């Protein structure tokens, strides 16, 4: 056996190994593109192997098998083209040429093989020319499409170029092999070139880990810069914008960052409509599309959307996306904390301004009355001034007490006992009703509704809620209805009145310390509903001002579990800590 023969068999074996590898890739990824590729290279390897065995051994091959193998070179470029077209999900308009050509070539080859007809030289030349033209159309058309796609995808660019180069060289080598005639040496050399070209194409089509790492080396600098941008982000939107573009560039994919409600915060590599579709699918709890990796980032999620020409999204890419999502989660928590601190600072400034305003009037009254009292000779005037001083000091004392209550809500967090909510509501209703004869308070509901809490705090809840109705009701003969029920492990308390209600502009304002509604009547310091909100949050419950067509309506939802120990947040909201885990 000559050296050329040995080399020829080695090339056939190499094509066989390449075919096995493409089949393995199809088995791993189970996509149409890898299926076409595996079919193309498996059939080509089989045809080359049998052809080389026939040349070296001169064993007679079964005629139908020989005819089928001779069809492979005609179908091969179209199968490779189909594997690329399936990446985009659409076929070019000229794709029908391939099907027509393969069918015609198969029929012609079958006729020649089974009838043992010898075609005239001119007909043979025409057939070979059409054969080469079909190869060129399929290969060049596909290569041009790959090159065009490379201009739109930065990370996919080396992949597209590798595939297109391999495809062109493979086409040229096999065409020279086809025209080489009886020159065994030329045919063997061209087969070697074709093998290298095929290997380049397959490596580009299913790039291994090392090659993917090499391709993204230029994006590492951008990725590192994004770390600094994440550290400097002070809002949720800034974090989302800082992460989208670098991660998309690093993975060669689209990236969508959204909140828990599905609102898109930032996207890159996708248009707005595509990003909204992904967000809607994820928010709805369904798998959006094939090739999407969704990772939680705490108060939202991050989705990596593989594009049609994105390099294979393997374990390394998944780990990279998850690691980056962890950094985003930390940055979001930091930005949220920063915003919380800013909000607390603004609230503190507003509270101090309100406190200064509330203190200024009584202190001015005390100071002025004291000066007048020193010079007053009439008894009635002295009594009036003394009463004004007393009332002002009483107001200041109540203001101090209210401030202490607001700051010490959590003092009784561990002094809890089962409290019958209906009984407490009736007790407070009797006390408040005694000082407001025209006021009508109706308490109804589940007498067995129990909440584990400090009894004093329970009274404060109803004192302030009913007191709010008196202040904002707009008239003396008000009706306040208190209803208590149990639902889904919660005690639901509904406090409603038939007064004038609370203006929409005041719905949030009334919960802010030292802020009173525009329709408030009588004296007050604006701490009552703020105190209620903190008590409810400390219990792990919620307080909501429910829209109503008449009057004001507040709804409280309080947990009944004794083991629920809340962790009070800086903004006054509460989350429940159970067995060392927050829920």
Task: Give the length of the chain.
Answer: 583
Read off the pTM.
Answer: 0.52
Q: Mean pLDDT in the chain?
A: 75
pLDDT of residue 574: 35
In angstroms, the CA 130 to CA 124 distance is 10
Q: Contact 40/217 with Cβ under 8 angstroms? A: no
In angstroms, the CA 178 to CA 337 distance is 70
Q: Is 421 helix (H, G, I), strand (E, B) or coil?
A: helix
pLDDT of residue 583: 36
Q: And the tokens for 16?
A: 């066989």
Residue 61 has phi, psi (to 5 degrees) of: -100, 145
Helices (H), 59-118: 63-88, 96-115
In angstroms, the CA 358 to CA 398 distance is 11
Instruction: Give the max Cα distance, the chain.
Output: 142
In angstroms, the CA 258 to CA 256 distance is 6
Residue 478 has phi, psi (to 5 degrees) of: -85, 150
Q: Is 93 exposed, middle or buried (0-12, 13-18, 19+ CB in 10 A)?
A: exposed
Quick: pLDDT tens for 199-256. Answer: 887 788 778 878 887 877 777 666 667 777 777 777 778 888 787 777 777 776 788 8
Residue with tokens 């062109």: 168
| DSSP output for 362-388 | HHHHHHHHHHHHHH---HHHHHHHHHH
In angstroms, the CA 389 to CA 362 distance is 8
Q: Contact 457/424 with Cβ under 8 angstroms? A: no
The strand pair at 565-568 and 553-559 is best described as: unpaired
Q: Which helix (H) or strand (E) holds 432?
A: helix 421-435
DSSP code, position 499: S
DSSP code, position 473: S
CA neighbours within 13 Å on the CB side: how many for 49?
Answer: 14
Scored b (16 or more CB within 10 A) or e, 504-517 reads eebeeebbbbbbbb
Closest CA to 41 of 63, 67, 14: 14
Quick: pLDDT tens for 459-485. Answer: 878 888 888 888 777 778 888 999 999
pLDDT of residue 7: 72
Residue 382 burial (CB count, 10 A): 14
pLDDT of residue 522: 47
In angstroms, the CA 421 to CA 539 distance is 14
Q: Contact 161/101 with Cβ under 8 angstroms? A: no
Q: Is 529 helix (H, G, I), strand (E, B) or coil?
A: helix
Residues near 481 by Cβ (< 8 Å), separated by ≥ 6?
442, 444, 494, 495, 496, 497
| DSSP output for 497-520 | E-SS---GGGTTGGGSTT---TT-
Q: What is the mean pLDDT of each run of 10 residues along the chain (583 residues)?
A: 70 82 82 86 82 70 66 81 76 74 75 70 76 80 76 71 83 70 69 78 79 76 70 77 77 79 81 82 64 77 75 71 79 81 75 66 76 77 80 74 61 70 90 80 91 84 84 80 91 89 69 53 57 83 85 89 43 34 34
Residues near 337 by Cβ (< 8 Å), separated by ≥ 6?
none
Q: Contact 529/511 with Cβ under 8 angstroms? A: yes
Q: Contact 398/414 with Cβ under 8 angstroms? A: no
Q: Which helix (H) or strand (E) holds 557?
A: strand 553-559
Q: Contact 350/344 with Cβ under 8 angstroms? A: no
Residue 562 burial (CB count, 10 A): 12
Contacts of the segment 319-324: beta carbons below 8 A, 24+ positions apart = 320/250, 320/251, 321/247, 321/251, 321/293, 321/295, 322/295, 324/243, 324/247
Q: Is 30 helix (H, G, I), strand (E, B) or coil?
A: coil
Residue with tokens 């308390």: 493
Residue with tokens 């499409």: 145
pLDDT of residue 482: 93
Please state the separation of Cα 374 from the chain's center in Å: 72
R_g of the chain computed on alpha carbons = 40
Q: And the tokens for 353?
A: 């301004």
Q: Contact 479/497 with Cβ under 8 angstroms? A: yes
């Amino acid at each position: 056996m000559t050296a050329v023969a040995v080399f020829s068999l080695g090339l056939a074996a190499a094509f066989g190994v390449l075919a096995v590898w493409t089949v393995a890739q199809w088995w791993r990824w189970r996509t149409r593109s890898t299926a076409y590729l595996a079919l193309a290279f498996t059939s080509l390897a089989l045809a080359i192997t049998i052809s080389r065995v026939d040349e070296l051994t001169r064993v007679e091959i079964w005629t139908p098998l020989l005819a089928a193998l001779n069809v492979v070179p005609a179908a091969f470029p179209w199968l490779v083209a189909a594997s690329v077209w399936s990446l985009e999900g659409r076929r070019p308009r000229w794709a029908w040429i391939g099907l027509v050509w393969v069918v015609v070539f198969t029929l012609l080859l079958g006729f020649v093989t089974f009838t043992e007809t010898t075609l005239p030289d001119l007909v043979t030349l025409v057939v070979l020319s059409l054969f080469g033209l079909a190869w060129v159309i399929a290969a060049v058309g596909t290569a041009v499409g790959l090159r065009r796609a490379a201009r739109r995808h930065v990370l996919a660019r080396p992949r597209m170029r590798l595939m297109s180069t391999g495809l062109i060289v493979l086409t040229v080598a096999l065409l020279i092999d086809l025209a080489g005639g009886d020159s065994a040496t030329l045919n063997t050399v061209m087969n070697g070139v074709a093998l290298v070209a095929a290997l380049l194409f397959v490596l580009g089509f299913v790039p291994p880990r090392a090659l993917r790492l090499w391709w993204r080396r230029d994006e590492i600098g951008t990725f590192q810069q994004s770390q600094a941008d994440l550290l400097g982000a002070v809002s949720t939107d800034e974090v989302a914008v800082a992460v989208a573009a670098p991660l998309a560039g690093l993975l060669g994919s689209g990236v969508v960052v959204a909140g828990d409600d599905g609102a898109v915060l930032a996207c890159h590599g996708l248009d707005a409509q595509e990003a909204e579709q992904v967000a809607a699918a994820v928010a709805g709890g369904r798998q959006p599309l094939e090739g999407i990796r969704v990772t939680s980032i705490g108060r939202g999620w991050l989705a990596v959307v593989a594009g049609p020409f994105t390099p294979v999204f393997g374990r390394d890419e998944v780990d990279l996306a998850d690691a980056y999502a962890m950094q985003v989660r930390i940055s979001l928590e930091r930005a949220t904390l920063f915003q919380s601190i800013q909000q607390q600072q603004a609230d503190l400034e507003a509270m101090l301004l309100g406190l200064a305003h509330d203190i200024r009037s009584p202190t001015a009254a005390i100071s002025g009355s004291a000066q007048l009292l020193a010079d007053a000779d009439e008894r009635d005037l002295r009594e009036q001034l003394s009463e004004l001083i007393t009332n002002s000091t009483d107001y200041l004392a109540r203001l101090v007490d209210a401030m202490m209550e607001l700051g010490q809500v959590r003092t009784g967090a561990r002094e809890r006992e089962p409290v019958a909510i209906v009984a407490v509501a009736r007790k407070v209703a009797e006390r408040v009703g005694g000082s407001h004869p025209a006021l009508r308070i109706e308490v109804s509901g589940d007498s067995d509704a129990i909440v584990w809490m400090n009894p004093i705090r329970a009274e404060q809840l109803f004192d302030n809620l009913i007191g709010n109705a008196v202040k904002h009701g707009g008239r003396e003969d008000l009706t306040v209805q208190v209803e208590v029920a149990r639902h889904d492990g919660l005690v639901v308390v509904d406090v409603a009145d038939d007064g004038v209600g609370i203006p929409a502009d005041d719905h949030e304002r009334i919960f802010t310390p030292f802020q009173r509604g525009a329709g408030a009547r009588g004296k007050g310091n604006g701490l009552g509903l703020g105190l209620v909100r903190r008590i409810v949050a400390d219990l792990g419950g919620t307080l909501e001002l429910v829209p109503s067509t008449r009057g004001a309506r507040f709804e409280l939802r309080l947990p009944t579990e004794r083991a629920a120990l809340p962790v009070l947040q800086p903004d006054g909201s509460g989350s429940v800590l159970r067995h060392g885990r927050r829920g």
